[in-house]
Amino acid sequence: MTVRLAVIGGDGIGPEVVAEARKVLDVVLPGVDATEYDLGAARYHRTGEVLPESVLQELAQQDVILLGAVGDPSMPSGVLERGLLLKLRFTFDHYINLRPSKLWEGTVSPLAGVAPGEIDMVVVREGTEGLYCGAGGVVRQGTPAEVATEESLNTRYGAERAIRDAFERAMARPRRKVTLVHKNNVLVNAGHMWSRAFADVAAEYPEVETEYQHVDAAAMYLVTNPQRYDVIVTDNLFGDILTDIAAAVTGGIGLAASGNINPTREYPSMFEPVHGSAPDIAGQGVADPAAAILSTALLLDHLGRSEDARRVEAAVGAEVAGRTPGEPVKTAAVGDAVAARLAD
């Protein structure tokens, strides 16, 4: 069956890293039916459009989406992030935002004394609710009496489906441990609902070890003892923040991959690096495309092509292991090297 792939390069380094991911997909998924979508700041400035309804309808017909990054200093903050990226995550019900982190052989962690292989965790970040829901508003804008509210939407259904996914993933991993991260000492409404859902789901998985941590403590342990984690399940905003920390301790944001997954397959799932458009290095050919390439491994897993996914991970692992610490990467050279390894 031909795979229909939508490619959204986006802004900044997005198109640069996606081009390298495409090189890899061309090797492991020959004959893929890829369509490039021109979305992001350039289109907005040209046409005023962020994500036309017709494009959304077309994207819905694809099997999978590969995205680079969105967001540009020329745009008011949030227009593309909300209007494009979050719009896709919400419309296509990407309720699992999957973010694995592992310390690859050859990568240098900023943490002293952590050996490759010792950190191997996956964060299941709830992807459609919480403070991201967009509810709230501003009154008396621009006056000293200005008030802004940002509401967090949490449903038992939403929490439970993310939690159940985390337990299923833990069952397939050797350590079989799930950590719920929230802030139920303060967020006594949503936090306790998450804890109740967690306890109920945990009862169905007696083989899985469980623990609960407040998010502030988890942020600390991710730096002092990241080895302790296997699967973390958490809400949308906590997951956003914790996965940048998890990336930082495992070799950097340039290696952090993610999948926005709709497990029901009712809609296309979307794969993208955890990082953003990195305007500070855009256009220089120095962005690390490893995160985008590793995101294609998650895409391949989603398509049921786990063997190809492991091959892509191994090829990236070998390329990373051959790097000289401190030496800047060259975007195209990384893609070429990984694709060449896979073609052998």
Q: Tell me the number of residues near Mn ion by CB under 5 A.
A: 1
Residues 6+ apart with CB under 8 A from 134: 82, 86
Q: From CA 249, how far away is CA 108, in angstroms rounded?
A: 9
* CA-to-CA dists, residue 113 to 79, 110, 249, 254, angstroms: 42, 9, 12, 21
User: How many whole angstroms separate alpha carbon 71 and alpha carbon 67?
Assistant: 12
Q: Rounded to the nearest whole angstrom, what is the least distance from the CB of residue 71 to ligand IPM in the complex?
A: 6
Compare residues 86 and 320 and give the one whose CB is closer to ligand IPM.
86
CB-based burial label for 61 (10 Å; 0-12, 13-18, 19+): exposed
Annotation says 37 is catalytic: no
CA–CA gap between residue 99 and residue 301 (Å, rounded): 13
Compute the Cα dihedral for 136, 141, 142, 144 and give only its sign. negative
Report 201-240 residues binding Mn ion (CB under 5 A).
Answer: 240
Backbone angles phi, psi at 343, to 5 degrees: -75, -20
Question: Which is catalytic among the residues 26, 244, 267, 336?
Answer: 244
Among 53, 266, 280, 344, interactor with ligand NAD by CB under 6 A: 280
- Give catalytic status of residue 240 as yes or no: yes
CB of 63 to ligand NAD, least distance (A): 20
Considering the complex, what minimum distance in angstroms separates the CB of residue 87 from Mn ion?
Answer: 16
Of positions 27, 66, 70, 299, contacts ligand NAD by CB under 6 A? 70
Catalytic: 132? yes
Number of residues that bind ligand NAD (CB under 6 A): 20
Q: 114: helix, coil or strand?
A: coil
Instruction: Tell me if 121 sits within 8 A of 230, measured CB to CB.
Output: yes
301 has catalytic annotation: no
10 Å Cβ neighbour count for 260?
27
Using CB atoms, what's the residue nearest to ligand IPM?
Answer: 81
In which order are the strands placed within the sheet that holds 177-182? 33-36, 4-10, 64-69, 269-273, 257-261, 96-102, 120-126, 231-234, 177-182, 209-214
Shortest spacing between CB 228 and ligand IPM, in angstroms = 23
Catalytic, out of 44, 132, 165, 308: 132
In sequence order, the β-bridge partners of residue 324 are none
Contact residues for ligand IPM, defined by CB under 6 A: 71, 81, 85-86, 240, 274, 276
Q: Which stretch binds ligand NAD (CB under 6 A): 64-72, 130-138, 216-224, 225-233?
A: 64-72
Whether 267 is catalytic: no
- What is the β-pairing status of strands 147-150 and 120-126? unpaired
Looking only at the bridges linking them, the beta strands covering 96-102 and 120-126 are: antiparallel
**Which of ligand IPM, ligand NAD, Mn ion, none is residue 254 near (CB under 5 to 8 Å by kind)?**
ligand NAD
Contacting range for ligand NAD; rule: CB under 6 A; set: 39-47, 87-95, 131-139, 268-276: 268-276
Using CB under 6 A as the criterion, what x/- string covers residues 219-258 for binding ligand NAD? Answer: ----------------------------------xx----
Q: Which does 281 bind (CB under 5 to 8 A by kind): ligand IPM, Mn ion, ligand NAD, none?
A: ligand NAD
Binding partner of 277, given ligand NAD, Mn ion, ligand IPM, none, CB within 5-8 angstroms per partner class: ligand NAD
Binding interface with ligand NAD (CB under 6 A):
13, 17, 69-71, 81, 85, 253-254, 272, 275-281, 287-288, 291
Binding interface with Mn ion (CB under 5 A):
240
Active-site positions read 132, 183, 216, 240, 244
